[in-house]
Structure 1
Amino acid sequence: MRLIVTTFVGIVFGFLIGLSLTKKLNLPSSLVPSLDLSYIEDKNTGRSTQTLLNVWSSIRRNATSSSQAQSSNHTSKIWAPSNPRGAERLPPGIVEAESDLYLRRLWGKPSEDLTSKPKYLVTFTVSYDQKKNIDAAVKKFSENFTILLFHYDGRTTEWDEFEWSKRAIHVSARKQTKWWYAKRFLHPDIVAPYDYIFIWDEDLGVEHFNAEAMTKRRGDREVHKETEEKPGWCSDPRVPPCAAFVEIMAPVFSRNAWRCVWHMIQNDLVHGWGLDFALRKCVDPAHDKIGVVDSQWIIHQGVPSLGNQGESHNGKTPWQGVRERCRKEWTMFQSRLTSAENAYYKSIGYVN
């Protein structure tokens, strides 16, 4: 009996010494060897093997909880304010702040997915009725362009009759405009890999257009930055529509310019009317940074296909309702922009 008690006390004492060393060395409890106490049993005192195992399990749980608490405390100490908002608790090395629209495989090594990385992005907001026009336009763009189609009529699978469509990206939402799509799917951090972003309508004639030539830097002789308009249209020859202006049916944005323009697009103003007059807010000097590439001219065919996606209301045809909404949005956008500028200047103590 004395031998058994002495043996038990020795085992417990040894375990406590081991546990103390484990805490000091910060070793995981899994490295502490499990004890087989099945051979110890004191029938006279009622201390069975199960009792000893219960004690052992309790000690192990406490050790595990302590280890987890230490691990949790260590993780909570990460705070990287340079990370994007909401990701401050992550180690900076794991943060991926930007993405892309490159299509990847479902197999193999990720590093071998991409044989090339397109430098430019072109988007068209389309209906299937304009398939011939879009087919002609897309064929003007090389493999150096990612093709993204926004489908406002809900028809996507039919486009597979074109081989290029199988490599394109298709996004579908019925009765939406290209600026609705752009605000929601072309966040600057998503399109960051692209040098230029083309955001085009579906009714453009591109017979005289060369996409690769469009992306090259050129001298002033190939770009006109000022023009003459009707008398009284321009209060200043360096402001829209005489300068710093391109219409919104076929704009091309640099990466940096798009980051600014995206933030200016209003969530609820889906037609984008008035946006072309405000693009100059995103570059300086605007009359020198915004222009029309004369050698790459296109034709706006003026097909009112999106306008017909409206609904008859109060005796007005669908396209009349859409056009009325466009004009209202233009007024609302101008009012918001003016109010925002006035509020900013007032906040810094500037009085005009």
Structure 2
Amino acid sequence: MSRIFSKYQGGGVHISGSRPVQGLETGDPSQKRFSGVVPPAAPLIFLALLCIAGAILWLDHNETLTILLLHPREVTADETPPPEEPSDICKNQRTPPAGSAALPRGIVQDKSNFEFEPLGRNPEMKELPPAKSLLAIPVGIKQKTVVDKLVSKFPAANFTLMLFHYDGVVEGWSDLPWSRRAVHVAAADQTKWWFGKRFLHPDLVAEYDYVFLWDEDIEVDDFDPLRYLDIVRKEGLEISQPALDRRSKIHQQLTARARRGGAVHRRFYKTVGGGRCYGNSTGPPCTGWVEMMVPVFSRAAWRCAWRMIQNDLVFAWGLDFKLGYCAQGDRTMNVGIVDSEYVLHRGIPTLGDAGDGKPATAAAGRSAVRQRSSTEMQIFNRRWSEAVAEDECWTDPYPEPPTATTKD
């Protein structure tokens, strides 16, 4: 500013560093009159204009800085930051099901069921199915009438049905009204435990609350499955069976319907003769035991029991004495016999009967079946003992107590 304004005299303006404007000397009388008309505020106006111009330049500079701040310089490929380490949630997530490690977790479905899917229905419009249980029965065409009465007692809305055809005959059941909703599996001369081991994997039945794995020669005139399950839930029974009508073929007195009445009993008392059972007895067949003809398993109990079934021991003799290990807790409380809903066991031999009308051949077949059953029990007990001896980390939750001699 010192170069611009140097002096203000007699109403004239001198610009320092510039050649004087001709005709504007103060000694020229003709110019005095002109200089007299220059308003005294002119220098202030000039100063104002210069200040405004400077402000514009400053604003322009500031705006440039602002733009630079809003648009930082892009990072080049060479300056890409290193990838972050996997978070702890990925390191600590559960092991994926076998064979699915290459898949995103959300697409994995490691469980299934036996529910039918209509071919033309939009799967996204499907309603959630009601809670169900599974009824699985080995059947032969000779027992068609008995099986029809049995199955008809189980409402379709509450039970999925699976038939194991041990005689290979499937077509002969198609005239029954419930046949089309059943899952039919045929394999000649196989037992229900063979079928159960191969077709009732825990992941296949994981959506069912309970698994009924029943023989076919059962009469259900005094049995209601829905009332039965209500009692099982109320009593907290993980493994159970309906009591046997005393007209039944009874192998162990624990399974017979109690004479005193009541909904459930869990133990049996026998104070004379062999195989005594007292109030302080803690194991089968005095308590914590069901027979293998009409067992009912909770989902968790079946997951355990399925793993105990041996592939090659198809009659499962001996397994019943170990089922209490799958009771999900105290077997003396979580295993029981339901008295108020009872069945009649007819005890009809079927396996080993060739059905060829030759009694001698059929009898010989049943004899071989019984011999193998006894042998299987010996093998199973030996395998159990060997497994216990080999597993150093296993602790028996039901150690053998001292021999009981008195009743509580």
TM-score (norm 2): 0.62
The counterpart of 2:189, out of the listed 175, 200, 222, is 175
- 1:289 is aligned to 334
**Aligned residue identity for 2:332:** H
Matched residue SS, 2:135: strand
| Cα distance change of structure 1 residues 300 and 307 upon mapping to structure 2, 3 Å threshold | farther
The counterpart of 1:299, out of the listed 337, 340, 344, is 344
| Cα distance change of structure 1 residues 316 and 177 upon mapping to structure 2, 3 Å threshold | same
**Aligned residue identity for 1:193:** E
Once the two structures are superposed, residues 204-225 of structure 1 have per-residue CA deviations (whole angstroms, 9 ceiling, x without a partner) of 1111110101111335951100
Q: Compute the displacement of 1:339 (Å).
A: 1.1
Q: Which has the higher strand share?
A: 2
C-alpha distance in 1 between matches for 2:394 and 2:369 = 37
**Contact 2:352–2:362 (8 Å) recurs in 1:** no
- 2:167 is aligned to 153
- 1:233 is aligned to 275
Q: Is 1:319 the counterpart of 2:377 in the alignment?
A: no
Q: Compute the displacement of 1:299 (Å).
A: 1.3
C-alpha distance in 1 between matches for 2:163 and 2:189 = 14
**Contact 1:99–1:191 (8 Å) recurs in 2:** yes
| Cα distance change of structure 1 residues 315 and 164 upon mapping to structure 2, 3 Å threshold | closer
Q: Is 1:197 the counterpart of 2:197 in the alignment?
A: no
Q: Compute the displacement of 1:112 (Å).
A: 3.8
Matched residue SS, 2:99: coil
C-alpha distance in 2 between matches for 1:148 and 1:117 = 18
| Cα distance change of structure 1 residues 80 and 285 upon mapping to structure 2, 3 Å threshold | closer
| Cα distance change of structure 1 residues 115 and 156 upon mapping to structure 2, 3 Å threshold | farther
| Cα distance change of structure 1 residues 174 and 295 upon mapping to structure 2, 3 Å threshold | same
The counterpart of 2:376, out of the listed 315, 329, 332, is 329
**Contact 2:353–2:362 (8 Å) recurs in 1:** no
- 2:263 is aligned to 222
- 1:12 is aligned to none
Matched residue SS, 2:322: helix
The counterpart of 1:105, out of the listed 99, 109, 118, is 118
**Contact 1:80–1:92 (8 Å) recurs in 2:** no
- 1:96 is aligned to 109
**Contact 1:246–1:276 (8 Å) recurs in 2:** yes
Matched residue SS, 2:163: strand
Q: Which has the higher helix share?
A: 1
**Contact 2:289–2:321 (8 Å) recurs in 1:** yes
C-alpha distance in 2 between matches for 1:241 and 1:347 = 24
What does 1:1-352 align with in structure 2 at a 5 Å threshold? 82-113=95-126, 116-143=129-156, 144-216=158-230, 217-219=233-235, 221-229=262-270, 231-234=273-276, 237-283=281-327, 284-309=329-354, 317-345=364-392
**Contact 2:146–2:217 (8 Å) recurs in 1:** yes
Q: CA RMSD in A?
A: 2.9
User: Any gaps of 5 or more consecutive residues in structure 2?
Assistant: 1-76, 78-90, 237-261, 401-408
**Contact 1:234–1:241 (8 Å) recurs in 2:** no
**Aligned residue identity for 1:331:** Q
C-alpha distance in 1 between matches for 2:129 and 2:276 = 46
Moved more, 114-123 or 154-163: 114-123
C-alpha distance in 2 between matches for 1:316 and 1:107 = 51
**Contact 1:102–1:117 (8 Å) recurs in 2:** no
Matched residue SS, 2:167: coil
Q: Compute the displacement of 1:228 (Å).
A: 2.1
**Aligned residue identity for 1:180:** W
**Contact 2:353–2:363 (8 Å) recurs in 1:** no
| Cα distance change of structure 1 residues 307 and 314 upon mapping to structure 2, 3 Å threshold | closer
Q: Compute the displacement of 1:95 (Å).
A: 0.5
**Aligned residue identity for 1:142:** P
Q: Compute the displacement of 1:81 (Å).
A: 5.8
Once the two structures are superposed, residues 60-117 of structure 1 have per-residue CA deviations (whole angstroms, 9 ceiling, x without a partner) of xxxxxxxxxxxxxxxxxx9976210121111111100111111111122113456744
C-alpha distance in 2 between matches for 1:207 and 1:186 = 28
C-alpha distance in 2 between matches for 1:116 and 1:278 = 34
Matched residue SS, 2:95: coil
**Contact 2:354–2:361 (8 Å) recurs in 1:** no
% of aligned pairs identical?
Answer: 41
| Cα distance change of structure 1 residues 310 and 267 upon mapping to structure 2, 3 Å threshold | farther
Q: Compute the displacement of 1:276 (Å).
A: 0.9
Rg comparison, structure with higher value: 2
Equivalenced residues, count: 274
**Contact 1:154–1:174 (8 Å) recurs in 2:** yes
